[in-house]
Structure 1
Amino acid sequence: MICCLNPHCAQPNHATLAEVCPTCGNPLEARLRGRYRPLKLIGRGGFGRTYFALDADRLNSRCVIKQFAPQTQGTKSFLKAVQLFEQEAVRLHELGEHPQIPTLLAYFEQNKYLYLVQQMIQGRTLHQEIAAQAAYSEGSLRQLLEDLLPVLHFIHEHGVIHRDITPSNIIRRKVDQKPVLIDFGVAKQFSEAIRYEPGTRIGTEGYAPIEQLRSGQAYPSSDIYSLGATCLHLLTGCKPEDLYSPQEGRWLWQEYLQNQGRTILPGLAAVLNCMTRDLVSERYQTARDVLDDLQRLPKLEGTVPGWVSSQSGQNLFTGLDSPRLSGPGQGAGLTMPTTSLPNAAESAEPTSKPVSKPISGPVSGRPVSRPAQPVVASAPSSKPPSSKPVSSKPVSSRAPGSGAAIAGGGWQLVQTLTGHQSWVTTAAFNPQQPILVSGSLDDTLRVWNWQSGDLLHSIKGHARGVNDVAIDRRGQMLVSCGDDATIKVWNLGDGTLRNTLKGHMRDVTAIALGSSGNLLASASEDGTLKLWNLSQGTLHKTLPSLAGMLKTVAWASADQQLVSGGLDNTIRLWNVQTAAVIKTFIGHTNTVNQVAVSPDARLMASASKDRTVRLWDLATGALLQTLQGHTQEVNTVAFLPDGKRLVSGSGDGTLRLWNSSNGTIQETLSAHINPLHRVAVEASGTVIASASADKTIKLWQWR
């Protein structure tokens, strides 16, 4: 199906692959610039049309094409329209790094028309939202402000004033319910925007402040006014012009709420009134000022991610013993070292609440994440963790031809952890305590005492599925990432959210903590690697996109080199300081799902959709071994601490233990009936966790 791009065509949408439009007879453009395939007209105006399209060079991802085709040419208004259209392209290019601003994909001329291609934001505008439902609650309005004010701060820091913030120019993004600011066609740089322009009126009546409508002047506080007026509309359900008395020269929105029998917190009312004052000098001057006052207001219940009852002095690790394991070359009852943890001396058992009722989910196929819900948390288990492991029958087995078992024992199932309501995608051991953290497409993180099998806490913070988790060497900090394009940093001791890192444009697929614990690397479906300073909560560096969607990232040396892999079937070794590629590893014939580096940083293992694990020499880039045996794609791989063995997990549901020196299979475990997504190895090397689409985590111990 191809849509007609003739701006005068009366019926451009057709279910046809013909070379000419059946309505107007014009030739049909199968692809603009050889890559953008227009499918459907979705909007039109005086200066052109907007089309829904697919980008063939980005795996047919959805995008929006804006076509500039005004009805009249050569006039003063036409020249102004050209200027605004080009200006929107420039602004999107400058601001598109922010996750709540559409990304500019292309800007070009073809067949005498100008085209602007941008990221498609699926969702409803706030104008559509307020027309279809009741007015906003106080909590919803505060959340909107907390989501949008950082966006305003960002564009103002880049010297841009939007000048047309209205409910129609804010889209509630469907995938994560975040508001996205659109339509930068009338945005101006500070130097231009504050200049007097006789006869210029840019903005929308009711939402634009008086200085903008009278003289065309605009300031950062002008955008704050427009956002405030938008909030009044959403809060009352009435347009701003119906809430202002020109005779009295004041807003009447609070009287309107009182007539409806509604009230809001006086502090929030004061913030809204200060945002919408007529005089520029009496208004908030920066978005940061508004946000600061907003965050001083009393917290509303349910707005803080984390687990409940994490009061000062409480600590998750109270009463937990260090791991006691026996294994090859180790005496029974080996105690792992511990480090001091915050507030450990004064800590008490965490207060807990019952587990929420399980939500049924699909049995097969990657489930679609539920719409974002208010952030909640539960602490399901109040009983103190016991040291006695839950007994279970061993299910380890050896596949025919898999090689001899290691002398003296094998891997046996000792624990099955249940509770997640969807695929378990990731798991990580705390290196200092018997704690395991798992993440799932049910949008939660779960914290377990893996020795007893007790679920200690469930953390709800991500708006969509969790893809990866990491715990620092001290066992105090937990980092998670997910399909909501965010990275969250938690205090593992008491469950408090320390920071939310935003910058990726799409799902964050993988994270890796540096050796210092302060540097974090992240990989995303947006094709970028990002480096974050965790102590400051800031983006340190973005490594250029080369491979399309990325699936995995790992540190190759102490905070100096990274390895990444993704959909282009290759692995890249990066110099972190120069952001340059040192080596490219070529050999896989399908997507690279995960990479792992040996403890001595000499070897790298890669798991691929081509059903193989490959072993590489990191120093030379040479392919050393191709490990074959899995019957479906290999999703995950990890080295054991000795570096002489590695374990892989596959869509075939099996775990395979390999000898990294010669590439032979040492043992095969029929682990899960559904695909296996992640393996994690405990610090002693005697316990392996496997996470699966069957919604469980299984623990395997060397016997």
Structure 2
Amino acid sequence: MFCSNCGVGLVVLRNRYRPIKSLGAGGFGKTYLAEDIDKLNQKCVIKQFAPQVQGTRELQKATELFEQEARRLEQLGEHPQIPTLLAYFKQDNRLYLVQQFIDGQNLLDELKQQGIFNEQKIKELLLDLLDILKTVHHHKVIHRDIKPVNIIRRSDGKLVLIDFGISKQLTATVMTQVGTTIGSYGYAPLEQMQGGKAYPASDLYSVSATCFHLLSGIHPWQLWQRQGYGWVSNWRQHLQQPISHAFGQILDKLLQEEYQQRYQSIEQVLQDLNPPSPLPPTQLVIATPSSRPSPLPPTQPIVTTPSSPPLSVTVPSQAQISTPPVKLKASLQKFFSPNTKRKKGLLAVVAITVGGLVLTKFVSYVRYGLFPTNPIPVIASKDSDVFLTKTLEGHSSLIRSVAISPDGKTLASGSDDKTIKLWNLKTGKQIRTLTGHSHWVFSVAISPDGKTLASGSIDDTIKLWNLETGEQIRTLTGHSGDVNSVAISPDGKTLVSGSINGTIELWNLETGEQIRTLDGHSSNVYSVAISPDGKTLVSGSVDKTIKLWNLKTGKEIRTLKGHSSTVFSVAISPDGKTLVSGSGDNTIKVWNLETGEQIRTLEGHSSSVDSVAISPDGKTLVSGSRNGTIKVWNLETGEQIRNLTEHSRGVNSLAISPDGKTLVSSDGNTIKIW
């Protein structure tokens, strides 16, 4: 009943939270690892307010900061990489804060165990951390104490930002008392140390000081003691291994002593971290009216190359095109005005449109020739058959999963805002919002007959909905932890769900009856998929393995090993012969589903591959990464076809329509239609 170290009585708080271990003490309180009795002893963290301060003013300030942390967690905790506030209350004249337990180690401990970080690892850290900070700053909050010990690498490899005890609203950038310093020495920028001021750029300084510490192994405070802020101008000399000039320039700008000279927003940093890729050159010739008959047939190429093999843009046969070539001439004449069309070295972006339809878009370099009497040779990239058509907005928080109905008419999306939204896929209009879950919706799936929608949430439940009416049919309870993934068998009879506790549950979709539990994974099951013949279940896990199961008997067939990190996503080809898996090790692996043999590894992503999808014809693989890129691959050969970079945040989910013509992807709280 009493702590052997400090003698504090270990009562069960609120008859629910039971402290089991001391995690340490700070300036304002003591922290305990605890169990939530109401949630089958699920681990959580209790912070007890016990300020080590003297005087009424100091005590009042400490109380404000403790309460502020609770408010910030309540405000920001819906982000999956910020701890969730579970409770805040007063008992026996003491204040308590209960928050989500993060299973992992902080980056300072990781540095001590694994040694200094290389440039690639720091870039991945930056992309992950900046994504969290974007949400923090979006809520007009400044963290003000970013450092390695306040960043935890969770067991799934993702970073979690903790300790919002000294965070501050952006609208009040100056402390009550001028001259108050707040933050940690070495990591806090000049404006925080001298006047207590804080801006978004202040957090960015702390992020960069953290990167320096992890790159060099030297605490910035050690340098600050000797040089003050002078160390930021010669930080490179302390590195044990060189970094690229471009990345060094980014850190230089982040570490500027004066906040006005730093990046002013997360978006500015991300733009320099992910510059657009240069376009591969190839010779093209834009045809002039004199070289084409009129009118232009629907399938006749309007752009050709003078050499073999020909590269052409063909008008889609389904489009109603009656525009003669003269329209193309007029468009180009307008673009290349009389004052510029004769100049050599003119850079331009050319979009060729016929009947309002954009056929191709490329960066061109006019080299010679007079238009329209001669063709215009240009340097251009190959045309793409993937186009971004619209972006859907409506969710107020991170979108975790998307699914398309079998008739290709309806899109469903599940979000951290606890809702599911249904959209008209063709028009992009929102049909309705489904509410009922009490926490984030991690996964959605639609039955083969298009009548039932299943949603899995971290409220430990699965809900079944009538897709046409939006009516909730029933709630399935049985999981003792977050439901990360759901899938429905091809015959529409069986629902499969994967959970954070490593178990997989099988359900009768019609009755909601629980059929059996599959045990075998040692950790979080992130993704499940069922083969087209309905015989094989595939599951991917944080334990770095993929397991194949007999869906009818529940027996494990085999375990596939090869990934060096979490398996976030699995997909099976329409012919049932090929399995694809995406992982936190930045790779995609292609497997023979029948034999379990690894066919090939696809490399190209520079960050975790969180989602994969296969086209209905089985020829194309699409993969989404945490750094916001989508890659399109030839599934048979493993060749990368193209790279899509329209997303500004990590791509959490992908879905391809049944006709193979539409790709849906989600990042942050938006959905993109391709």
| TM-score bracket, shorter-length normalisation | 0.3 to 0.5
**Higher RCO (Cα < 8 Å, 6 or more apart):** 1
Give the TM-score normalised by the residue count of structure 1.
Answer: 0.46
